[in-house]
Amino acid sequence: MAQLWGGRFTKETDKFVYNFNASISFDKKFFKQDIQGSIAHVMMLAKQGIILEDEKTQIVDGLNQIRKEVEAGTLEITDEYEDIHSFVEANLIDRIGNIGKKLHTGRSRNDQVALDMKLYTRDEITEISDLIKQLLHTLLKIMEENVDTYMPGFTHLQKAQPITLAHHAGAYFEMFKRDRQRMEDIYKRMNYCPLGSGALAGTTYPLDREYTARLLEFYGPTLNSMDSVSDRDYIIELLSALSTIMMHLSRFSEEIIIWNTNEYQFVELDDAYSTGSSIMPQKKNPDIAELVRGKTGRVYAALTSILTTMKGIPLAYNKDMQEDKELTFDAIDTVKGCIVLFTDMLATMKFNKDIMAASAKNGFTNATDAADYLVKKGVPFRDAHGIVGQLVLLCIEKNISLGELPLSEYQKISQVFKKDIYEAISLSTCVEKRETIGAPGKTAMEKVIGLNKAYLK
């Protein structure tokens, strides 16, 4: 058992206790960040005269060689080591001897693991932001191609008013844009370097924490050593943001699942993102959308877990905090996989535009516009609302749409109606006259599309 802390103990740790305590099985995921932080630390030690330049060179060369061998697969990270820090340091000492023991000067595993987790999280935030950007590009393409694709807009899963597919996709563009902005916000707030905080009270060595922070591309050092080693706010913020991303993906997945049904037939999923049934040959199941929807709970669980873990921890570091890693790694991997698959599914999905338009036309989505028609001719809105309600009831009895109802039937209920009612309640009129920014009208949508293009540049 390779341990960094054996001097105080006269008895070897029980094997079960050792395994329960060890984190190598999951913290090996950030071996690159551990080596990156160690190189910055040793460069600072040499700059401050705490170790010699030649010692720095040997340590840096040794660390780089370990990194190359792990990446090449010629050096395996095994569970004989307690954690990734033990693995790196023990291998370094094996290669360069006692000089390798100077690597840990002025450093604790507490500030070391805090640094590694920040470096890893920072890298992942950047990658997730890039994946969201690709999803936004896919949504923008759908918007550009469908400013004239009419479909029903819904409330309560009931057809409400006509919109366009561009407008519907634009709603998700806004959601995922906010998700990307949250990534940027978390990055800015977390980007301060904890290295040099020691176990909790700093160190008596003359460390240059500003220099270490610059080497690692942080904005600067953290300003309280106790908070530095016990802060997991950025993990909580990230998991909260990831949960919101999954919530948005899940909502969109739910709509795609509904649109894919025989009853709707708004979309056709590409074969690569569907599966069949083992018994029913006619089935084409939206498995990717369903899995994205299902995996949302997995990410929510990670957020709940870390909040529960952190709620009762006194300052400063406690071993409980080791529980932040597995759940965070899993949540990050889950979200990244879901974004990639969802983006590809969306990019290959076909929209049945005629069916969408027919659904809007036959769902009385233009009823509000019929009421507005009466209001513009002097009828009080509350009276207009009641008149159109009677018309809808009549259409339901005759199994026709408002556009198919004869003018004579309109005029039986109100003489205010003239031939121009049909133009007033056409899908194109209902959509295009809504031109205020944020509405589905073509002029408004094209302005928004321009703003979205500028954002993605």
Confidence at residue 26, expressed as pLDDT on a 0 to 100 scale: 82
Instruction: Tell me what the mean pLDDT of segment 161-186 comes to.
Output: 97
* Structure confidence by residue, pLDDT tens digits, 196-213: 999 999 999 999 999 999
Identified catalytic residue from 86, 156, 228, 250? 156
* Structure confidence by residue, pLDDT tens digits, 313-345: 999 999 999 989 999 999 999 999 999 999 999
Phi, psi of 152 (to 5 degrees): -80, 140
Q: How far is CA 332 from the centre of its chain?
A: 8
Instruction: Tell me what the mean pLDDT of segment 164-186 comes to.
Output: 98
Per the CB < 8 A criterion, the answer to whether 323 and 305 are in contact is: yes
* Structure confidence by residue, pLDDT tens digits, 264-312: 999 999 988 887 655 665 668 899 999 999 999 999 999 999 999 999 9
Within 321-445, strands assigned E span: 350-351
Catalytic residue list contains 104: no
Q: Which amino acid is at 138?
A: T
Comparing 6-105 with 359-446, is the CATH topology the same? no
Q: How far is CA 208 from the centre of its chain?
A: 36
Catalytic residue list contains 156: yes
Q: Which amino acid is at 151?
A: M
Domain borders along the chain are 6-105, 110-146+164-358, 359-446
Dist. CA 302–CA 346, nearest whole Å: 27
Q: Which residue has the higher pLDDT, 124 or 271?
A: 124
Kindly indicate the confidence band of residue 21, based on its pLDDT and cuts at 50, 70 and 90: low
pLDDT above 90 covers a percentage of the chain that reads: 88
Dist. CA 371–CA 410, nearest whole Å: 12
Residue 38, classified by CB atoms within 10 Å of its CB into exposed (0-12), middle (13-18) or buried (19+), is buried
CA torsion, ordered 5, 11, 16, 20, to nearest 10 deg = -30
DSSP string, 69-129: HHHHTSS---TTBSSHHHHHHHHHHHHHGGGGGGGGTT--HHHHHHHHHHHHHHHHHHHHH
Dist. CA 247–CA 253, nearest whole Å: 10
Mean pLDDT computed over every residue of the chain: 93
Confidence at residue 361, expressed as pLDDT on a 0 to 100 scale: 87
6 pLDDT more than 60:
no
Specify the CATH number of the domain 6-105: 1.10.275.10
CATH of region 110-146+164-358, choose from 1.20.200.10, 3.90.550.10, 1.10.10.10, 3.90.1140.10: 1.20.200.10
Domain 359-446 of CATH type 1.10.40.30: yes
Per the CB < 8 A criterion, the answer to whether 339 and 135 are in contact is: yes
Confidence at residue 1, expressed as pLDDT on a 0 to 100 scale: 45
Per the CB < 8 A criterion, the answer to whether 410 and 382 are in contact is: no
Q: How far is CA 391 from CA 169, 272, 375, 395, in A?
A: 32, 46, 16, 6
Identified catalytic residue from 137, 197, 243, 277? 277
Residue 347, preceding peptide bond in cis (omega within 30° of 0): no
Instruction: Tell me what the mean pLDDT of segment 86-90 comes to.
Output: 95
